[in-house]
Amino acid sequence: MKKFAGAILLLSISMVVVTSCGNNSGTTTATNDSTTTHDSMQNTTKPGVTSADWGESDGKKVFSYTLTNKNNVQVKITNYGGTITSWTTPDRNGNKSSIVLGFDNLQGYLAHPPYFGALIGRYGNRIANGKFTLNGKTYTLATNNGKNALHGGLKGFDKVVWDATPSADNTASLTLNYLSKDGEEGYPGNLNATVKYTLTDADELEIEYTAKTDKATPVNLTNHSYFNLTGDVNNTILNETLQIDADRYTPVDTTLIPTGKLEPVAGTPFDFRQPHKIGERIDQVPGGYDHNFVLNGGGSVRRVATLTDSLSGRKLEVYSDQPGLQFYTGNFLDGTIKTSDGKPINKHAALCLETQHFPDSPNQPGFPSTILQPGTSYHTVTRYKVSVEK
Ligand code: GLA
């Protein structure tokens, strides 16, 4: 007991040191147990950011950062993969649980779950045959999804350690930076990527992505959070209700590469212009939903999708300036991965709403361009807003 109390004191001190240092300068010796200690302290956490030592990857220190707003909503993010590991919000009865899939230790992520909560780059979703031609030169990418390149390749932005800088005041934001070197995973140019997460007092998680390059390169950054608004993976997401503001979608071939056509959703199971239960027509979609929707409007941040859950009363609204949204119903989850408390994560245990440019754009002249030129800036914003309907 005395030893336990001593450990808490030590960890508390190390957390203060790390927080005040403002980045991952490696001042603690805490282990994964710190997460538990950290949790117990969170009940009293003030708005702002705290951090706990999560171990190491690639010789770099990994931390778990807790962003807390004035409503005591908390989002945890690790600089390993820039990953959102939990998002704790109340249901209509005030009971709190996390609405995203995630683990409470680094080991869970080092086992390579399918992108749970991670930042995705340099190119979100697929590039056909892992090849594209730019300015007359053909580039060959690392392939990791049959013959295609998926989510940045074998070691995408989800598997690297980002440099992290938490906000120093009582705002809840975390800025992450990663320099992707020229040739990494086959992509041209040094790409300097910065992602700022901000948890606002309006219970929105804003994700602001910026990037610069020194050679023309495709860029398509997104976040791969898996949502289950019931807060319990024992419930599938098939009873949750979704609305997507898209008149068209991009049909795909058997390897999930777009055919290049933009087809109307009208009269298909892809018509979510009015809210529909996700399970209502999923049987008509072979394999389940894993499709890019062509969002209406564009150029500025607008609401693109709304997910509601009658069980918990929770509502998730997605706002973005992006042209596309990948709606994925966790079709490849099969129970082999377990939550930190041992529950199997089965098919349709969670869903993704990934704001993005269209898959395979570098090979699709009819799609909006994803090429970032040197001397210009990549900048995009997505906000996920959570509320409760009584
Ligand atoms: C994306 C893809 C899916 C799948 C998941 C990860 O959503 O579109 O096909 O690869 O990521 O398993």
Q: Which amino acid is at 299?
A: G
CB atoms within 10 A of CB 367: 21
Q: Supply the pLDDT for residue 30.
A: 29
Closest residue by Cα to residue 213 from 185, 192, 240, 230: 192
State residue 168 phi and psi, 5-degree precision: -90, -15
Residue of 116, 123, 143, 150 with the most ligand 1 atoms within 8 Å of its CB, for mutation: 150
Do 361 and 225 meet the contact criterion of CB atoms below 8 Å apart?
no
Token readout for 157 is: 């932005």
Residue of 116, 254, 332 with the most ligand 1 atoms within 8 Å of its CB, for mutation: 332
User: Atom 3, ligand 1: which residue's CA is nearest?
Assistant: 290
Of the residues 224, 291, 348, 357, only one is catalytic, namely: 224
Instruction: Choose the weakest-confidence range: 34-48, 136-150, 178-192, 262-276.
Output: 34-48
Q: Kindly state if the Cβ of 345 falls inside 6 Å of ligand 1.
A: no
Overall average pLDDT of the 236-253 stretch: 98
Provide the CA 42 distance to its chain's centre, in angstroms: 23
pTM beyond 0.75, yes or no: yes
**pLDDT above 60 for 58:** yes
State residue 105 phi and psi, 5-degree precision: -155, 160
In whole angstroms, how large is the CA radius of gyration of the chain? Answer: 20
What is the bridge-based pairing of β-strands 74-78 and 83-90?
antiparallel
Please give the Cα distance from 388 to 390 (Å, whole number). Answer: 6
pLDDT > 90: what percent of the chain? 87
For 134-158, write each residue's pLDDT tens digit: 999 999 999 999 999 999 999 999 9
pLDDT > 70: what percent of the chain? 89
